[in-house]
Chains A and B, each alone.
Chain A
Amino acid sequence: MTFDVAAVRAQFPVLARTMNGRPLVYLDSANTSQKPSVVLDAMHRFASTSYAPINRSAYQLAVEATDAFEGARAAVARFVNARRPSEIAFVKNATEALNLVAHTWGRANLHEGDVIVLTHLEHHANIVPWHMLAAERGITIRWVPLTADGQLDLTDLDHLLDGAKLFGFSAMSNVLGTITPVDELCRRAHDAGALAVVDACQYAPHQPTDVQAWGADFTAFSAHKMCGPSGIGALWGRQELLEAIPPFLGGGNMIADVRLDGFTPAPPPAKFEAGTPPIIEAIGFGAAVEFLEGLGMDAVRAHEERLARYTLDTLARRFGDDIRIHGPVDVKRRGATFSFAFRDVHPHDLSQVLDQHNVCVRAGHHCAKPLMKLLGVSATARASCYVYNDTSDVDALADALDGVSDIFAP
């Protein structure tokens, strides 16, 4: 399948914007992605014609709204190949999804002395909820180390998983772009009797995601990183797990019955959706996954693999040893997200200079401070690509990097 980047780019209104007479070079999609017109239009159209409460009113408008909301859930379920829509719980974002797992499954199943396993690649969202639980429950966290090129070092995995109740890991690193062998990790978690929790926040936007083929137990992802709106994400969980674990937040919509002496939770997914959800955002989420399906996730992956190759080649050719790109060099094992060090220039200063050329990159610790410590830095600059980026964006980054040396030359 061919991938016409110019045609894709034309569907993102913000990318037509110029600043100081020059185009925007948006290379911060690992942070959050831009939104195509079809998503913005779907949200506007729904809010303009069909907006109403969902799941609680009998009038026609509310029925329409509920149908649209559940249609979005079905679209998201299809996008990750869930067995059924009820396996998708809408949450605020991947962070909330992982907190949900820690709060519900974790509290119901983890007790003092229990062990869980995480990796050195994790985002704070898949670390801090477990630290919080560890402080409360006295559980132990073991960490899967990394190889020199930023892949998971699985040498001692069986030993690490021995006796563990849960294995939580990122499918793609938000810092290094590393893609992990999710199906193998799920299998080895299960072989050890542990639950497999996949943080797919960086993975799902960029390649086909199949939770059944993975054999995962829980998978978390956010709409805003995949052309959808902020404020909504999804937790996918195996139906029987979602049925077994306790609810998360309490309130309206998540109950089957409430009495003066207690309550009975609703079945999933309502059980995890207390209060009025982000309805308009759900419509946008549904439109976003349909937009991505229209592009074809295999084609998206192929496009980004080409872009990753071009980026690695271009930066190495133009800057040689002056640039150090963290993470895997094999484009089959990484996405088009690049954390890098440039000469001795601090990432904050780097991004300030790049901003003069409208090149948007993130500078900082990327919510992965343990990984930063491992890399021996306090921060990195990170350029990350998506469906609307092409080689001209990479060239613009390289041109802007040329200007950095002038200012900070000793």
Chain B
Amino acid sequence: MPGLDDLYREIILDHYRSPRNRGELPSPPAAHAVGHNPLCGDEIEVFLQVDGDVVRDIKVAGQGCSISQSSASMMSQAVKGKSVDEVRALTRRFKGMMSIDENPDDPARPGDADVKLGDLEALQGVVKFPVRIKCATLSWNTLLDALRQPDTAG
């Protein structure tokens, strides 16, 4: 059995205890998406302000376990200031790390492997706990929903 140390890395617990970019943005103009984990009832809200091609601001609300909350917190840090294309590439890379490779809407591309995950690599241990993969990807799927909204055409 994989140990809890693989799952609960210090940086994860830090983001859980002190989540970054917590809150809401006025919507509109910000895009707003709500994601549910039907397994456990966790709920995450993503508010996304995209100006032109760039994610100007992002806020995360909702509640969840340490894995879903820390993933959302790290995600919000990672995507802020990035172009929409970069955000999509990062999302593909992150989901790839979670061993979710097949996304018919947005298949893996050659450059994805070069995308830097930074702190997000701390979530790598989640793969050893398959039930928790949905926790880690909840905020990312919600982010994609927000990007799909008409106002954030990107």
Contacts and interface: CB of A to CB of B under 8 A. Distances in A.
B13 interface: yes
A351 to B, nearest CB: 9
Given A20-B1, A408-B13, A348 B43 contact: no
Interface stretch (B60-68, B102-110, B146-154): B60-68
Contacts of A348: 40, 42, 64-67, 132, 135
A327 interface: no
A320 to B, nearest CB: 23
A369 B132 CA distance: 20
Q: Which of A352, A353, A372 has the most CB of B within 10 A?
A: A352
Given A352-B7, A352-B132, A407-B8, A346 B66 contact: yes
A347 B40 CA distance: 9
A353 B132 CA distance: 13
A349 B66 contact: yes
A157 B42 CA distance: 33
Interface in B37-91: 39-43, 63-67
Contacts of A346: 64-66
Contacts of A361: none
Contact of B40 (A364, A407, A408, A410): A364
A378 interface: yes
B4 A407 contact: yes
A212 interface: no
A19 interface: yes
A379 interface: yes
A363 interface: yes
A392 B65 CA distance: 29
A302 B124 CA distance: 48
Contacts of B3: 356
Q: Which of B4, B7, B41, B67 has the most CB of A within 10 A?
A: B41
Nearest to B2: A356
Interface in B103-128: none
Nearest to B41: A365
A341 to B, nearest CB: 13
B65 A365 contact: no
B92 to A, nearest CB: 26
Contacts of B39: 364
A378 B43 contact: yes
A64 to B, nearest CB: 43
A253 B1 CA distance: 48
Contacts of A19: 1
B15 to A, nearest CB: 13
Contacts of A352: 4, 7, 129, 132
A407 B135 CA distance: 19
A237 B67 CA distance: 46
Contacts of A363: 40
B42 A379 contact: yes
A369 B66 contact: no
20 contacts: A20-B1, A346-B64, A346-B66, A348-B65, A348-B67, A348-B135, A349-B67, A352-B4, A352-B7, A353-B4, A356-B1, A365-B40, A378-B40, A379-B40, A379-B41, A379-B42, A407-B8, A407-B13, A408-B13, A408-B66
Interface of B: 1, 3-4, 7-8, 13, 17, 39-43, 63-67, 129, 132, 135
Given A348-B64, A364-B39, 11 more contacts: A347-B40, A348-B42, A348-B67, A348-B132, A349-B67, A356-B3, A364-B40, A365-B40, A378-B43, A408-B66, A410-B17
